[in-house]
Amino acid sequence: METLKRITRTGTAAVDQVVKYACIVFFSVMVVDVVVSVVMRYILVKPMVWSEQLAVYCMIWIAFLSSSIGFRKGAHMGLDLLVKAAPSKISRSMCAIAHVMIIAFLTVFTIWGFVHAFAVRHQTSPVVFNMSMTWAYLALPIGGICMLIQEFGVILIGMEENT
């Protein structure tokens, strides 16, 4: 069991670092894109037609990737009024059911994300360098995988703290 906990800690920390760096890259690209777009549009009067769409794609990737950081830190919104009011045994059961529901949702979300990204593989963005729309839609399943990894980490770390 100790080996599993160590692997889980290492895996979730690695995913966390990769996601942080990826978010930094996407955010940097987005900021540079928006600044250059403003300069081109209002100072040089040569608007870039693709800059807004690129910023949107970067924001989508940031949103789905950074959600896994929220899972790890327990920062997502939740209603725990009933959990806190319930007796200890029932409270633990409610938390376990919630974790199972989260895993089920993220599994379906990830599978659907891959199916959808595959379905749009022949579509291209007419604005952003004829980029395949698969790259934009891959944010969903990759974000789902990262969230699943962090959710399993939360479960194991929570189990460790309760024992």
Query: pTM, whole model, 2 decimals?
Result: 0.85
Nearest CA among 74, 92, 76 for reference residue 84: 92
Count of H helices and E strands in the chain? 6, 0
Q: What would the DSSP string read from start to end of 93-131?
A: HHHHHHHHHHHHHHHHHHHHHHHHHHHTTT-B-TTTTT-
pLDDT for residue 67: 93
Strand, coil or helix: what is 1?
Answer: coil
Range of the domain at 117: 2-162
pLDDT for residue 162: 38
Average pLDDT (13-24) is 94
Residue 81: in which H helix or E strand, if any?
helix 81-85
pLDDT for residue 151: 92
Average pLDDT (3-26) is 90
Q: In whole angstroms, what is the distance from residue 68 CA to residue 142 CA?
A: 10
- What single DSSP character describes residue 76? S
pLDDT tens digits for range 123-159: 988 777 788 899 999 999 999 999 999 999 988 876 5
Does residue 163 register a pLDDT over 70?
no
Average pLDDT (7-32) is 93
* Number of separate domains in the chain: 1
pLDDT tens digits for range 27-51: 999 999 999 999 998 888 888 888 8
pLDDT tens digits for range 45-93: 888 888 888 999 999 999 999 999 888 887 777 777 778 888 888 888 8
